[in-house]
């Protein structure tokens, strides 16, 4: 029986170790969401970006040999481009065919296509060296060659199916064999629990040895080749998941061993002393000595390869010991209280001890099962389609891709940041915040920027310095003095004291009536753009924040690679060209421009003409020119009523198709120009999006 028990123990450990590996692969590779995230992270690895950039450069020079003299410039631009956020949406889009090749039996060849890298590369090179613009063809397309054919695909499909099966089957078989091995030793439930705990520890130890070996091999890969760079980056991207799985299984195994060891002192000092003696002392038997030597070698190797991981492990171990000590203390207090209430304290204490250990075994055994179940849980075999857009549409319609930016009508919102569902906004003019507006199809956001400071009221921002008086005056012109004073009194904001650093906020004049931290919003907008790579978005800013501070904020938020920079004397690009180049965010400033330092901050006083906006009745709507030169290429139709007390019902009335569509058609006729931006209040009322589609002639 002893020999059979040992064989079953060894086989159980091996099955459990392989099952852990299969579980991690199942969750991190077979799962579509995690797969897409890992691919994009590997793409951003500097060494991978450099090697892919070299491949791109070779393809460029193969197409245009006359550019060989510019090779260093092209290499630098290519590597920067491959690692930049501008290419993120393109790469995530290429994940789809690659992932389908891993999980389906489609006969098509697997092709990794960086579809728009040519246009992006041209833009990057001409920015760095404007004189090269004339010699670089605008239609230069770069395509990476195929990854493999159907033979490779079939092998990967079979491997994927095997991983999914092994992720749940092997851990189940391993735990069953370990439990049976413990039962064969005829030592009761403690023997079974101890055997499972020892097997979990051994499986975690075996996995750690494999991880150390894999890390050493990854470190020896030649990262100056594309294969080596991809291999190393892939391993360093995934290895933390394997380490975490090993640590969790080891912790569960250790706790099972503790529960199955009667009389073991759970105080941290006693456990630490016991552990140290086990590591440094000689084993009682050759087997014990072999196990001890293996553990010492494993810990030493991990410390050499991943020292920070060892620090993290030690901290986690200390936490486990403290939890055990605290649980022991609570158990003792409970036992004393229970015994005091019992007629036979000794009998009650013995009963508690008999129940406590099996209960602990069940709990920690369940924890081990949960850890293994996480790896075996069915992976989501679909990529996150809501995050990685596909197809060829531009702003939702194929027809718009061939039209210039100034030839397309965009749905817009007035005072976009002033939203009823956002915290601390008073006198809101939109139902939802900017991210929800983007989700709903709004593509032009009219926002007001002001410098603000925190106050003694948490979360309440006040306009900074001299801007405060200006903001109060503007708010009174907009809402009336009595409304502003009443709002401030109701909110007890009359005696606010601005303090702390001055930062840019989005406020409708007076920040006390509502504010949004501009930079953090732009960070979230950037993530939205990453998830929607075929959308063109415009920010029309009433700028009280300086152009320099605005430019710095946009750069810190990571949006700079997305912005469009106009070229003097040249027409607006088509939506398709903007999406292909990655420059699909337009910034317009109402009161200024970015100048030579930030030419992408476009001066709306020259680029935009608009209509008046200070109306109180629909019958007062006018299409006459209010601001901007009459030959400005962009046309903003301001379409809202300025009644503070009936803004929602007014929006329902004037945003209705039978009011909005005739107005924009009349403005189109009078001005001889298609409306570019149609801005409203409470965009969810009426039919703004339908009217814009009618203007664009799309279904």
Closest CA to 512 of 528, 525, 494: 494
- Does residue 590 carry a pLDDT above 70? yes
Among 175-179, 312-316, 508-512, 651-655, the range of highest mean pLDDT: 651-655
DSSP, residue by residue, 151-220: HHHHHHHHHHHHHHHHHHHHHHHHHHHHHHHHHHTT-HHHHHHHHHHHHHHHHHHHHHHHHHHHHHHHHT
DSSP string, 415-471: TTT-BTTSTT-SS-SBSS-HHHHHHHT--EEEEEEEEEEE-SSTT-EEE-TTHHHHH
pLDDT digits (tens, 9 = 90+) for 206-249: 887 887 788 778 878 888 777 787 778 877 777 777 777 787 77
Burial class (CB in 10 A: 0-12, 13-18, 19+), 23: buried
Cα dist from 230 to 101, 157, 223, 225, 526, whole Å = 19, 21, 8, 8, 27
Dihedral sign computed on CA atoms, order 596, 600, 603, 606: positive
Confidence of residue 690 (pLDDT cuts 50, 70, 90): very high
State what percent of residues in the chain have pLDDT above 70.
60
Residue 207 · residue 170 · CB < 8 Å = no
Judged against a pLDDT cut of 60, whether residue 254 lies above it is answered with: yes
Average pLDDT over residues 650-665: 96
128: pLDDT strictly greater than 80: no
Per-residue pLDDT band for 50 (boundaries 50, 70, 90) equals: confident
Is 60 exceeded by the pLDDT of residue 479?
yes
Does 14 have pLDDT greater than 80?
A: yes
The yes or no reply on domain 404-696 and CATH 3.20.20 is yes
At 364-379, the pLDDT tens digits run: 455 555 545 554 555 5
- pLDDT at residue 181 is higher than 80: no
The pTM score is 0.49
Q: Using CA atoms, how far apart are residues 507 and 449, in angstroms rounded to an integer?
A: 6
255 pLDDT above the threshold of 90: no
% the chain with pLDDT above 90: 32
pLDDT digits (tens, 9 = 90+) for 508-517: 888 888 899 9
Q: Quote the CA–CA distance of 71 and 125 in Å, as a whole number.
A: 11
Mean pLDDT of 390-415: 91
Higher-pLDDT residue of 145 and 623 is 623
Q: Residue 419 forms beta bridges with which residues?
A: 430
φ and ψ of 562, to 5 deg: -90, -15
DSSP string, 204-254: HHHHHHHHHHHHHHHHTS-TTSHHHHHHHHHHHHHHHHHHHHHHHHHHHHH
Range of lowest pLDDT (32-36, 441-445, 451-455, 577-581): 32-36
Assigned token pair, 619: 């019958």
Write the Ramachandran bin of 591: left for phi over 0, alpha for psi from -120 to 50, otherwise beta: alpha
Question: Taking phi first (over 0 means left), then psi (-120 to 50 degrees means alpha), and beta for anything else, what does residue 74 get?
Answer: alpha
Beta bridge partners of 588: 540, 602
Query: What was the pLDDT predicted at 334?
Result: 58
For residue 29, is pLDDT > 50?
yes
Residue 361 has pLDDT above 50, yes or no: no
Residue 531: pLDDT above 80? yes
Which two structure tokens, joined as six digits, stand for 430? 């939109």
Q: Tell me the average pLDDT across 4-32.
A: 76
Rounded Cα distance between 583 and 307, Å, is: 42
Q: Please name the residues in contact with 228: beta carbons below 8 A apart, sequence gap of 6 or more.
A: 221, 222
Rounded to whole angstroms, how far apart are CA atoms 553 and 599? 15
What pLDDT, on the 0 to 100 scale, is given for residue 660?
Answer: 97
Tell whether the model's pLDDT for residue 124 goes beyond 60: no
- Range in 7-16, 319-328, 673-682 the model is least confident about: 319-328
Q: Over the chain, what is the mean pLDDT?
A: 74
383 band by pLDDT with thresholds 50, 70 and 90 = very low
Domain ranges (residues) in the chain? 187-376, 404-696
Give the separation between CA 602 and CA 242, rounded to whole angstroms: 49
* Adjacent-strand bridge partners of 394: 397
Helix (H, G, I), strand (E, B) or coil at 273: helix
**400 and 406 Cβ atoms separated by less than 8 Å:** no
Q: Compute the chain's Rg from CA coordinates.
A: 33
pLDDT at site 596: 92
Tell me the CB-side half-sphere exposure of residue 386, using CA atoms within 13 A.
1
């Amino acid at each position: 029986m002893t020999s059979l028990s040992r064989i079953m123990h060894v086989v159980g450990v091996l099955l459990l170790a392989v099952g852990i590996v299969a579980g991690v692969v199942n969750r991190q590779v077979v799962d579509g969401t995690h797969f897409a995230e890992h691919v994009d992270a590997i793409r951003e690895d500097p060494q991978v970006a450099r090697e892919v950039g070299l491949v791109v450069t070779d393809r460029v020079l193969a197409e245009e040999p006359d550019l060989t003299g510019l090779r260093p410039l092209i290499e630098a631009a290519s590597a920067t481009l491959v690692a930049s956020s501008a290419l993120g949406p393109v790469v995530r889009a290429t994940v789809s065919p690659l992932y389908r090749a891993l999980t389906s039996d489609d006969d098509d060849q697997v092709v990794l296509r960086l579809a728009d890298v040519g246009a992006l590369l041209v833009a990057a090179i001409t920015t760095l060296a404007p004189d090269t613009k004339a010699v670089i063809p605008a239609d230069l397309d770069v395509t990476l060659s195929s990854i493999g054919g159907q033979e490779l695909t079939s092998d990967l499909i079979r491997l994927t199916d095997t991983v999914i099966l092994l992720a749940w089957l092997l851990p189940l078989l391993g735990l069953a064999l370990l439990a049976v091995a413990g039962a064969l030793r005829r030592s009761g439930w403690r023997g079974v629990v101890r055997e499972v705990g020892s097997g979990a520890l051994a499986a975690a130890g075996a996995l750690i040895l494999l991880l150390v070996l894999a890390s050493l091999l990854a470190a020896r890969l030649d990262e100056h080749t594309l294969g080596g760079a991809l291999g190393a980056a892939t391993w360093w991207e995934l290895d933390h998941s394997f380490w975490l799985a090993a640590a969790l299984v080891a912790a569960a195994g250790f706790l099972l061993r503790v529960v199955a060891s009667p009389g073991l002192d759970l105080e941290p000092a006693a456990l630490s002393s016991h552990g140290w003696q086990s590591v440094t002392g000689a084993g009682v038997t050759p087997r014990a000595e072999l196990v001890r030597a293996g553990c010492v070698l494993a810990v030493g190797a991990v410390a050499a390869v991943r020292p920070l991981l060892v620090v993290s492990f030690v901290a986690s171990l200390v936490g486990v010991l403290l939890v055990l000590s605290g649980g022991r203390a609570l158990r003792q207090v409970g036992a004393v209280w229970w015994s005091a209430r019992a007629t036979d304290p000794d009998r009650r204490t013995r009963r508690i001890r008999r129940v406590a250990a099996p209960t602990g075994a069940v709990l920690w055994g369940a924890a081990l099962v949960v850890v293994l179940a996480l790896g075996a849980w069915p992976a989501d075999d679909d990529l996150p389609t809501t995050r990685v857009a596909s197809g060829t549409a531009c702003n939702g319609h194929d027809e718009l891709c061939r039209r210039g930016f100034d030839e397309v009508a965009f749905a817009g919102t007035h005072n976009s940041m002033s939203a009823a569902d956002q915290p601390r906004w008073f006198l809101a003019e939109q139902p939802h915040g900017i991210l929800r507006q983007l989700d709903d199809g709004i593509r032009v956001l009219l926002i007001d920027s002001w410098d603000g400071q925190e106050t003694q009221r948490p979360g309440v921002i006040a306009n900074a310095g001299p801007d405060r008086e200006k903001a109060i005056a503007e708010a009174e012109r907009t809402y009336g003095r009595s409304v502003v004073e009443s709002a401030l009194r109701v909110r007890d904001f009359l005696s606010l004291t601005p303090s702390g650093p001055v930062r840019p906020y989005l406020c409708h004049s007076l920040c006390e009536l509502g504010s949004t931290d501009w930079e953090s919003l732009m960070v979230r907008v950037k993530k939205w753009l990453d998830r929607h790579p075929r959308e063109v978005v415009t920010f029309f800013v009433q700028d009280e924040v300086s152009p320099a501070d605005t430019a710095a904020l946009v750069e810190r938020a990571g949006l700079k690679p997305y912005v469009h920079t106009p070229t003097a004397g040249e027409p607006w690009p088509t939506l398709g060209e903007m999406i292909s180049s990655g420059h699909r965010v337009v910034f317009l400033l109402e009161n200024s421009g970015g100048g030579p330092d930030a030419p992408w901050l476009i001066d709306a006083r020259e680029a935009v003409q608009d209509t008046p906006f200070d109306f109180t009745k629909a019958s007062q709507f006018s299409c006459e020119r209010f601001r901007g030169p009459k030959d400005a290429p962009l046309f903003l139709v301001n379409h809202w009523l300025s009644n503070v007390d009936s803004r929602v019902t007014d929006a329902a009335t004037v945003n209705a198709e039978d009011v909005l569509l005739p107005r924009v058609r009349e403005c189109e006729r009078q001005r001889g120009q298609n409306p570019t931006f149609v801005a409203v209040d409470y965009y969810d009322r009426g039919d703004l999006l339908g009217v814009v589609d009618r203007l664009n002639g799309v279904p």
